């Protein structure tokens, strides 16, 4: 049964939530695909165009994060409430395009994370490095970027370079770097910052904290995934509903 916070966020009902989620997901994917194709097949990378290339790389990184966050909503069923196979199909497609990830494996790992966040049973957590970014990130990469992802990325690079003749500089700067950057962005805002051990500890059993960012900064940083404590408390609230969930929870906590 939906929580009080979820009902407050989804006052418009599941149909409008699904329509909103699908529209935003389609916009994110279309923007990423159009910019990616232009970067690979239409953009002339020169010293003069390098500043524009850097902007494009940053935007591709952010849109890649958006695709992953949309697939994350699909895992929780908040992309299309009650959508079942629709969530599976869209989420699986986005994860595969993102880095060749396997849908069922990623979804199972994410549910394990929610079941025991910040513990030895959490596949996202590093018991040996709970305060250190780079060692923890290394563990994170080894757990999720397996042979399937390496084969996928290697195939894409090979086909682009040897079959279509895409310049290697374009591939490195406008495909490789955004992919690496998005993994760093997702890990930093969605795993390390919320679940790292610190002197302030955690508020409850979710072992998560949230960034104190405004709505726009939160969107730019990681599609509101920095509102991570709210996500753990109400995991079926879609990413675009997390600012409202945060406001709702804050009001509830400040009431006498």
Q: pLDDT under 50 in the chain at which residues?
A: 1-6, 8, 10-11
At 12 the pLDDT is 57
What is the distance of C-alpha 129 from the center of its chain? 22
Residue 52 lies in a domain: yes
Tell me whether residue 252 is in a domain.
Answer: no
Number of domains comprising the chain: 1
29, part of any domain:
yes
Sign of the C-alpha dihedral, residues 117, 118, 121, 125? Answer: positive
User: Would residue 227 count as lying in a domain?
Assistant: no
- Residue 122 makes CB contacts below 8 A (sequence gap 6+) with 112, 113, 116, 195
Q: Scan for tokens 């596949």, then name that residue.
A: 123
* Both structure tokens of 18: 């699904």
The pLDDT value given to residue 254 = 52
187-194 LR contacts (CB < 8 Å, sep 24+): 187/137, 187/140, 188/133, 188/222, 189/221, 189/222, 189/225, 189/226, 190/222, 190/225, 190/226, 190/228, 191/124, 191/136, 191/140, 192/133, 192/136, 192/137, 193/226, 193/228, 194/226, 194/228, 194/229
> Residue 111 sits in which domain range?
12-197
d(CA 146, CA 230): 30
Domain-embedded: residue 215: no
Which tens digits make up the pLDDT trace of 224-251? 999 999 999 999 999 999 999 999 887 6
Please indicate, yes or no, whether the overall pTM of this predicted structure exceeds 0.85.
Answer: yes
255 within domain boundaries: no
**Residue 61 in domain:** yes
């Amino acid at each position: 049964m939906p929580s009080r916070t979820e009902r407050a966020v989804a006052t418009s009902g599941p149909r409008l939530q699904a329509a909103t989620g699908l529209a935003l997901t389609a916009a994110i994917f279309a923007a990423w695909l159009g910019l990616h194709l232009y970067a690979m097949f239409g953009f002339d990378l020169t010293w003069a165009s390098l500043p524009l290339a850097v902007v494009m790389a940053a935007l591709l990184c952010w849109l890649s994060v958006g695709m992953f966050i949309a697939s994350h909503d699909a895992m929780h069923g908040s992309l299309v409430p009650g959508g079942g196979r629709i969530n599976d199909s869209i989420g699986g497609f986005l994860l595969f395009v993102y880095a060749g990830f396997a849908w069922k494996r990623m979804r199972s790992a994410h549910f394990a994370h929610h079941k025991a966040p910040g513990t030895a049973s959490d596949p996202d957590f590093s018991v040996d490095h709970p305060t250190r970014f780079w060692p923890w990130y290394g563990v994170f990469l080894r757990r999720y970027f397996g042979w399937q992802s390496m084969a996928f990325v290697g195939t894409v690079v090979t086909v682009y370079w040897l079959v279509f003749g895409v310049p290697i500089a374009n591939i490195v700067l406008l495909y490789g770097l955004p992919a690496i950057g998005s993994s760093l962005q997702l890990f930093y805002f969605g795993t390390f910052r919320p679940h790292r051990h610190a002197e302030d500890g955690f508020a409850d059993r979710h072992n998560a904290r949230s960034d104190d960012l405004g709505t726009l900064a939160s969107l730019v940083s990681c599609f509101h995934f920095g509102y991570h404590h709210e996500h753990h408390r109400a995991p079926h609230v879609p990413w675009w509903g997390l600012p409202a969930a945060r406001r709702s929870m804050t009001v509830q906590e400040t009431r006498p």
